Structure 1
Amino acid sequence: GGGGGGGGGGGGGGGGGGGGGGGGGGGGGPRLQRDGVYRWFSELPSPQRVEFLCGLLDLCIPLELRFLGACLEDLARKDYHSLRDSEIKANNPADLGSLTNLTDEVVRSKLLVSLALLGSAHREAAGVLFRTLTHIDSVINNYGLQLNEGRTGDEFLLLFTMASNHPAFSFHQKQVLRQELTQIQSLMASTGKNPSTSTLNTMATYPGCHKVTPRSETPINSVSNSLENVLHTSTHSMEESLPKRPSGKHSKVSVEKVELKGLAHKKNERNVEYSFEVLWSDSSVTLVTKSSAEVTEFISKVKTRRKPL
């Protein structure tokens, strides 16, 4: 499918970049490979461009992100006044509530613009968009919407790619949207429809997409602070202390990401319970609660198993 190719395309881009770095000793090699990556990216369909850019942002360190943020802020400032009215509507739940007819091409175009201009902190507006987008199954089944007609499939691919990567949506919402995206990709693959490169003709390229990974939150105590640091470097070690999942017929399921969701103090006790959200490689989610003693023991085990650089 079109979106499915995005993941493969992203991997290809990463390989191109790595090749450029490895050829630093040769004359002109890195430049040629970099130009090849630029050409490859410029020819990607819009959903794959968004997916690839979000993947690159995930690879950046905090200072690089701050630098890129300053660059994007300067670029976005040029269109600030012309997009101001659209931005206000994109972050207003009442305005978004009227954009519910996914069978209307004009509505889909407005939803694309709204997602591009949606602020990362506007959870209520994101909730309205989430409810609208998750009605796609009934729209396809009840109204007979054909994803292979014109740009319809391309627009839905871009809508769900942007939404599933947008920081305004919660972790759970993004997982649901990602599952919907996978279904759309499967439907398009079954009809032999390839994504078009012209999906964004009705809108500019907006710097609004960023795949959020759990970064260090304000530490409540030394245990939680150490835990955040360990989780980012030793995700695979966490599998041993998580509840075992039944093995299926398919490939082994592994831990993709672990996020600290909160801490709770038991009444009349000094112990603290830690709540984690675990994302598995099959896109399922498990909620895990551990006592402070279990967490401390886990951190100790991970530290002893970490190899020196």
Structure 2
Amino acid sequence: MVENRCSVQREGVYRWFSGLNSAQRAEFLCGLLDLCVPIELRFLGSCLEDLARKDYHSLRDAEIKANNPADLSNLTNITDEVVRSKLLISLALLSSDNREAAGVLFRTLTHIDSIINNYGLQLNDGQTEEQFLLLFTMASNHPAFSFHQKQVLRQELTQIQEIMQVPCGEQQPVTGGCGGTGASGCQHINVGKENHIHLKKYTVFFAFKTV
């Protein structure tokens, strides 16, 4: 009886997770990792390393650019959807100890308030909203950034959520999706290639726009 109940609860979690958008998934997974003990983290690290190895060659060029401060310094106009897509890819492939590259990204991301005020960027547009939420969620949880930088980025994320009036943690999971076209029914950022992360029988993917 207990085993059956646990199985039902797991299936419920999988369904709930599949209804989250990309930013919510990233936030939730980072929270779970914080709850793990060191030996669990080492095991999960081995599993992730094996999954990541499958896409190593196809992402190698993008990974080199993502860790090159000179390349990142050209990605400053975050009002451009293509630039935001490149920034998302860079954050996904940024090495955990690359402080110099993280510093370049930090300087780019901390101008969001002036961009909103000076350019009138409409964050409530569906595609733009998804990109900014994911961008700042990933950055504020990324180990390459210092504690202070993460605090600043988290404040920026909170500001964006207040502008959108849809705090990331308060959106309720939905059954059958939220009107998007992704595998979970949610709207995903389109990246050309789909980088798949398999969670049990559900396929979660971040899609970034091809540039």
Please state which band the TM-score falls in when normalised by the shorter chain. 0.7 to 0.9
User: In the alignment, residue 14 of structure 2 is paired with which amino acid?
Assistant: Y
| Pairing 1:134-283 to 2, within 5 Å after superposition | 134-189=110-165, 197-202=186-191, 204=195
The 1:79/1:111 distance shift into structure 2, 3 A limit, reads same
- Verify the 8 A CA contact 1:116 1:206 in the aligned structure 2: no
Residue 200 of structure 1: how far off its partner (Å): 3.9
2:64 match: 88
Structure with more contact order per residue of length (Cα contacts < 8 Å, sep ≥ 6): 2
Q: How large is the RMSD of aligned CA atoms in angstroms?
A: 1.8
Query: Greater Rg, structure 1 or structure 2?
Result: 1
User: In the alignment, residue 134 of structure 2 is paired with which amino acid?
Assistant: L
- Verify the 8 A CA contact 2:127 2:189 in the aligned structure 1: no
Q: Tell me the matched-pair count.
A: 180
Residue 198 of structure 1: how far off its partner (Å): 2.3
The 1:205/1:124 distance shift into structure 2, 3 A limit, reads farther
> What CA distance in whole angstroms lies between the structure 1 residues aligned with 2:98 and 2:56?
18
The structure 1 residue matched to 2:44, chosen from 51, 68, 75, is 68
Residue 123 of structure 1: how far off its partner (Å): 0.2
2:8 match: 32
Task: Name structure 1 gaps, 5 residues minimum.
Answer: 1-24, 208-309
Residue 204 of structure 1: how far off its partner (Å): 2.3
Q: Deviations over 1:207-259 (max 9, x none)?
A: 9xxxxxxxxxxxxxxxxxxxxxxxxxxxxxxxxxxxxxxxxxxxxxxxxxxxx
1:267 match: none
Residue 161 of structure 1: how far off its partner (Å): 0.3
Residue 27 of structure 1: how far off its partner (Å): 5.3
Task: Name structure 2 gaps, 5 residues minimum.
Answer: 172-177, 181-185, 199-211
SS of equivalent residue, structure 1 residue 28: helix
> What CA distance in whole angstroms lies between the structure 1 residues aligned with 2:140 and 2:3?
41
> What CA distance in whole angstroms lies between the structure 2 residues aligned with 1:206 and 1:177?
26
User: In the alignment, residue 93 of structure 1 is paired with which amino acid?
Assistant: P
2:90 match: 114
> What CA distance in whole angstroms lies between the structure 2 residues aligned with 1:205 and 1:109?
17
- Verify the 8 A CA contact 2:65 2:90 in the aligned structure 1: yes
> What CA distance in whole angstroms lies between the structure 2 residues aligned with 1:178 and 1:204?
26
Identity score, percent: 74
The 1:172/1:27 distance shift into structure 2, 3 A limit, reads closer
> What CA distance in whole angstroms lies between the structure 1 residues aligned with 2:196 and 2:100?
24
Residue 201 of structure 1: how far off its partner (Å): 3.6
Task: Give TM-score scaled by structure 1 length.
Answer: 0.56
Residue 206 of structure 1: how far off its partner (Å): 7.0
2:80 match: 104
The 1:205/1:52 distance shift into structure 2, 3 A limit, reads farther
The 1:168/1:161 distance shift into structure 2, 3 A limit, reads same
User: In the alignment, residue 86 of structure 1 is paired with which amino acid?
Assistant: A
Task: Give TM-score scaled by structure 2 length.
Answer: 0.81
